[in-house]
Amino acid sequence: MKDLQNIKQRFGIIGNYEVLDRAIDIAVQVAPTDLSVLITGESGTGKEAFPQVIHNYSTRKHGPYIAVNCGAIPEGTIDSELFGHEKGSFTGATDSRKGYFEVADKGTIFLDEVAELPLSTQVRLLRVLETGEFIRVGSSKPQKTNVRVIAASNMDIAGAIDHGRFREDLYYRLNTVPIRIPALRERGDDIFLLFRKFAVDFAEKYRMPAIRLEPDAKIILTNYSWPGNVRQLKNITEQISIIEREREIKVSVLKAYLPDYDGVKLPAIIKKDDDKSFSSEREILYKILFDMKSDMNDLKKLVYDLLQHGDVGVNIDESNSRVVKNLFREAAERRGTDVPHESSAEFSPRQERDDIQDTEEIVEESLSLADKEVEMIKKALEKFNGKRKLAAHELGISERTLYRKIKEYGIEM
């Protein structure tokens, strides 16, 4: 615990949320290795601190550390920035230039917003990761580099892969060790700890008393969704510190700085892998559909009994009479006989019973969730010709969960 607090203090990481502590622990454990790391999390969550933790606790800590924002470099120059170029390789290339991968030899390179890289650059990056080789723009001579790559993204990379914007092989190469940084709204009391730290920092910076929150304002602070995460909290704290004269911040004042504040934060539905269901939302939909099917089966069975055995002691109320008449009409159409008008006095279940020569066999469908899961898995696998990744995406589950269910149910592919 003491080491964890020292790391937080050294790298400016504030909070006690368990998922945040776990992310720090993974970063420290993976640091001595040369494995690639992919850090994911929403924009503004503080992802940039974790590559520094990994670099400084690795054997490369005395080598160079270079952070590159891939989204901030124009597509036309990104290859030159990363891999360098030769003199005359393009307009304006008056001299040869080393790229970041050449400069960062025996060190660490942090590729922030890696999902913004063009596909052509992704191919070059994959070659560096797999062979340690790169080629300068305008050259045909491969060069070697010994660089540890750490990448980060706030995008859904799996979705980018499905839309053809990110290479799947590069994703698996970068994602050797995944680290997820939690959003600020998930971190509970950490929100107030961060606010208090920022308030003290800005008080020292601008030489004024630190702002404080009234008890009700603290509740507002923790209930807000914080779409901009820690970055947004820091900016709002600075705004209030400078603009407001009163150091005791009331609810009405705080709300004025929170765009689209929508009151109490409701609990979110968290998707979990379950042995018996894909997810809670899907299970609810299944239940509704199964209940509807059950009702229809009961109604069909009722009509079948009426046609075969006459009155079975069941009263058909007015609300169900139209449904029953429609069923008789469909039966008559299938037989090719005249369909009685709904208002005709001759139209009755008993009269239709005398004319019907054959009936449809009633088959009770299985309402087991496990059976439905097997059915849907088989359909998804057939649709995508046995490709588990695409089938898993269609079903809304992970590929690992799909593989487990295939084994569990003994589904043949």
**376: pLDDT strictly greater than 50:** yes
Q: Which residue has the tokens 């208002």?
A: 343
Which range among 25-29, 121-125, 331-335 shows the weakest confidence by mean pLDDT?
A: 331-335
Average pLDDT over residues 32-41: 96
CATH number for 185-256: choose from 1.10.8.60, 3.40.50.300, 3.50.80.10, 3.30.420.40: 1.10.8.60
- Per-residue tokens: 30: 């993976």
Give SS3 for 356. Answer: coil
CB 80 within 8 A of CB 124: no
Distance, CA of 403 to CA of 121 (rounded, Å): 32
Distance, CA of 275 to CA of 83 (rounded, Å): 47
Distance, CA of 204 to CA of 66 (rounded, Å): 31
Distance, CA of 272 to CA of 277 (rounded, Å): 9
CATH number for the region 369-409 comes to 1.10.10
Distance, CA of 137 to CA of 97 (rounded, Å): 10
In 3D space, the residue among 135, 121, 132 whose CA is nearest the CA of residue 84 turns out to be 135
- pLDDT attached to residue 190: 95
**163: pLDDT strictly greater than 60:** yes
The residues of the chain that CATH labels 1.10.10 are 369-409
Average pLDDT over residues 148-163: 94
The residues of the chain that CATH labels 3.40.50.300 are 2-182
* Residue 298: band (very low, low, confident or very high) from pLDDT cuts 50, 70, 90: confident
CATH fold of the domain at 2-182:
Rossmann fold (3.40.50)
pTM: 0.63
* Residue 2: band (very low, low, confident or very high) from pLDDT cuts 50, 70, 90: low
Provide the percentage of residues in the chain whose pLDDT is more than 70: 77
CB 8 within 8 A of CB 169: no
- pLDDT attached to residue 309: 62
Three-state helix/strand/coil letters over 190-247: HHHHHHHHHHHHHHHHHCCCCCEECHHHHHHHHHCCCCCHHHHHHHHHHHHHHHCCCC
Distance, CA of 349 to CA of 100 (rounded, Å): 83
CB 136 within 8 A of CB 95: no
Rg of the chain (C-alpha set): 32
Average pLDDT over residues 128-145: 94
* Residue 94: band (very low, low, confident or very high) from pLDDT cuts 50, 70, 90: confident
CB 225 within 8 A of CB 186: no
- For 297-332, the DSSP string reads HHHHHHHHHHHHHS--S----HHHHHHHHHHHHHHH
340 DSSP assignment: P
- Per-residue tokens: 338: 């005249």
Q: What's the pLDDT tens digit per position in 254-294?
A: 999 998 776 545 444 444 444 444 445 566 666 677 677 77
Average pLDDT over residues 14-23: 95
- pLDDT attached to residue 97: 93
